Structure 1
């Protein structure tokens, strides 16, 4: 499968798993049960009993132990069987356990061998922690499209001028655009000078004013992007106080379905409930009513998760998306060569 394994994937938002509420989520086509153990930390086991393959989530959770609801085999936090009511425990009575970390209000799961989990590769999303809840908008959008196809959508923001004309579009096609690579990252930037701000940007500048708008997307493998943007009056210098920073994270469920996590933060109008409501509605409309339907139609039209197999026409606006795909392909090749 066309997935990196030795990396961290967002499994969900931390508040999706409570002491009384487990979470089942399929990642890289593996069903995983997430639940909080006796001490409140999150435990993750493959959601499939090795006996008759019933989902463990259909059983009972008690502290650090989950008991299969079909024949009563019980498994501990490390995946080992801790009870077999029908006889001795054998070495085959084992389920895969995953390394899980809770950080930045999210749950992160390492999909490779747990012993190889590299905490240094956890993404830095400290901008979420630094933002009060009144200035955060969090969403989850399951989408029936390949994760790289959805990442392309963020790496090439020219689509906003056509797909989102009434909210955030109208400033990208004619912008000064650049792309570059820095280590594992691909960075795309757009500078829209002396433009009419789209409706979502208008509250950030004085009424009837034109604006300079800066937008940047930083991609890191396999499909996490941080989109930063700021609107200033023409000629005004950009400061951190102008900026809105948004997480867009594409996590593969299967080859053609994706968990799309989004968290928008801002450093202006932090306690303005009216602006927050307007922005939430604008984002929900753009993602749910415009992006999601188009991406799902695009996937159905393609009929494959392999973009290159269809020999696409490439435009100048594809530069960031193509660089990200090629960097990911190189990482996939390196990981395959390193496997025994």
Structure 2
């Protein structure tokens, strides 16, 4: 993929997907990768193609507790830096190796960096405190969707669609919600406040609101590049202060597989101080799986297909009030990509 931000962190997997001693084959940004944990448990990401006869390294095995990965075809071994460290047929050929990608584990996820390795600072991973497994019970899911990843970001940054697409979440009060969109540096917020709602039973149970009582609700989405969204959905009995209410914390993290496919990493989290937090996280995850996979995904996939490969802006999309956050995120990401590519071009021009 060419038109993507590279000097940034993308989610490659949930930490729970990467068990010690196991190999994970995953394609992201058009790069086929093999992911595993080294001897000390640190995540490793290598190009998933042996340089000898191009067999996927994911078909091989880990040796010495994760010190090296061995190709299943001719037994070449590569360490966590991608360097070839063993050739059963003799000396290791000079320069033999595969590309390695910086990887780090933070906020219950494995993150990967596709840009300049010298810039891969783990501190640049967008902060999502409610995904810290030590203090939060986190239920995670992964869904592959046939669409461009920015359409998925649009979907979370503009939640006006829940009135029509997710009946278990919504009522007509959503359309009357007060919308606020703002940009703080390279962070974009999209907020919707819904007052005096008579929501479905699922929402009443989620926010512990008795039958017959009206509800004030909020939907606060925070976007960071490239497509990392933290979402706070909360509710309180109408007229009471927001701090008396309940928040559901969820994460929606999108990594492109290609121009036409996206890996959707989603999670729901509850503080471990809450009674039955682990059970709540698992139950909440399963409750959300259906709307994500059977309501959102078909609509977004249909929209992507109906664009016929055209550029989003070239189709001159109609912009509605609820689109403010999504539009800001798209424009900011576009400017970040352009700036990065201009810098790369300038460096190439200066190279003798």
TM-score class, shorter-chain normalisation, is over 0.9
Contact residue 270 and residue 277 of structure 2 kept, 8 A: no
1:41 — aligned with what?
42
In 1, Cα distance between equivalents of 2:7 and 2:335: 14
Aligned residue among 88, 100, 105 for 1:102: 105
Q: State yes or no: 1:301 paired with 2:315.
A: no
Q: CA deviation at 1:261?
A: 0.8
Q: CA deviation at 1:132?
A: 4.1
Aligned residue among 161, 181, 184 for 2:183: 181
Structure 2 unaligned runs (5+)?
Answer: 348-352
1:24 — aligned with what?
25
Q: CA deviation at 1:311?
A: 2.0
Aligned residue among 223, 237, 257 for 1:253: 257
Give the secondary-structure state (helix, strand or coil) at the position aligned to 1:172: helix
In 2, Cα distance between equivalents of 1:227 and 1:305: 29
In 1, Cα distance between equivalents of 2:86 and 2:278: 53
Structure 1 unaligned runs (5+)?
Answer: none
Give the secondary-structure state (helix, strand or coil) at the position aligned to 1:200: helix
Contact residue 168 and residue 199 of structure 1 kept, 8 A: no
Structure 1 residues 275 and 69: alpha-carbon distance in aligned structure 2, compared to 1, 3 A threshold: closer
Give the secondary-structure state (helix, strand or coil) at the position aligned to 1:33: strand
In 2, Cα distance between equivalents of 1:67 and 1:274: 39
1:149 — aligned with what?
151
In 2, Cα distance between equivalents of 1:106 and 1:278: 20
Structure 1 residues 49 and 301: alpha-carbon distance in aligned structure 2, compared to 1, 3 A threshold: same
Q: CA deviation at 1:170?
A: 3.7
* Alignment root-mean-square deviation, CA: 2.1
2:323 — aligned with what?
318
Give the secondary-structure state (helix, strand or coil) at the position aligned to 1:35: strand
In 2, Cα distance between equivalents of 1:274 and 1:99: 34
Aligned residue among 193, 196, 199 for 2:198: 196
In 2, Cα distance between equivalents of 1:168 and 1:240: 21
Aligned residue among 123, 128, 139 for 1:125: 128
Give the alignment's TM-score, normalised by structure 2. 0.90
In 2, Cα distance between equivalents of 1:248 and 1:272: 20
Q: CA deviation at 1:32?
A: 1.0
Moved more, 166-175 or 34-43: 166-175
In 1, Cα distance between equivalents of 2:184 and 2:194: 23
Give the alignment's TM-score, normalised by structure 1. 0.93
Contact residue 269 and residue 281 of structure 2 kept, 8 A: no
Once the two structures are superposed, the pairs formed by residues 1-340 of structure 1 within 5 Å of their partners are: 1-62=2-63, 63-129=66-132, 131-133=135-137, 136-203=138-205, 204=207, 205-239=209-243, 242-266=246-270, 270-271=275-276, 279-304=284-309, 306-339=311-344, 340=347
Q: CA deviation at 1:338?
A: 1.2
Give the secondary-structure state (helix, strand or coil) at the position aligned to 2:41: coil
1:204-254 superposed Cα distances (whole Å, 9 cap, x missing partner)? 212221011111100000001011121111111112862111101011111
